[in-house]
Amino acid sequence: MTHANAFPLNAWYAAAWSHEVEHELAARRICDQDVVLYRRTDGQVTALEDACWHRLLPLSMGRLEGDQVICGYHGLVFNSAGRCTYMPAQKTINPSACVRSYPVAVESVQRAMAVPPCGGPGVAWAARPGGRDALR
């Protein structure tokens, strides 16, 4: 297997326990891909590619304002779908200005959440001995 194909990409991978993701930026590395996670004000979890569209600075080094991520380099603003909503000093936004967003499955506040790097068929949950749930 080459490095680029080191992980099956049509699958779900555990990203964090639900209680670990709050209304702040949390960097994770999943299948050699950098992802930033955060909980929106409505309680839903967002997972975005952790690299700004403009200069690839990790978005996790920026800040969260409401439900939008502000890049720490030039101040580009990305919504929870990964679409750029503001470019400083520009009246129009380049339509290609976006970062990848990933689907997230969260079963409950006591369970793990999963992110599929290329989309996936779904996530299967199984109870572990001791009452904690885990991905299978």
Q: What is the pLDDT of residues 92-104, one digit of tens each?
A: 999 999 999 988 8
Q: Return the pLDDT at 15.
A: 85
What are the tens digits of pLDDT across the range 36-52?
999 999 999 999 999 99
DSSP 8-state secondary structure symbol assigned to residue 6: S
Strand pairing report for 26-30 and 13-17: unpaired
Query: How many folded domains does the chain comprise?
Result: 1
CA distances for 14 relative to 2, 37, 53, 89, 105, angstroms: 23, 12, 25, 39, 10
Q: Identify the CATH number of the domain in which residue 51 sits.
A: 2.102.10.10
In which band, very low, low, confident or very high, does the pLDDT at 116 lie, cut at 50, 70 and 90? low
Residues whose CB is less than 8 angstroms from the CB of residue 74 and which lie 6 or more positions away in sequence, other chains included: 52, 54, 55, 88
- Measured distance CA(113)–CA(14) in Å, rounded: 6
Predicted pLDDT at 58: 98
Return the SS3 of 46. strand
Instruction: Give the residue numbers spanning the domain of 17.
Output: 3-135
Q: Taking residues 60-64, report their average pLDDT.
A: 98
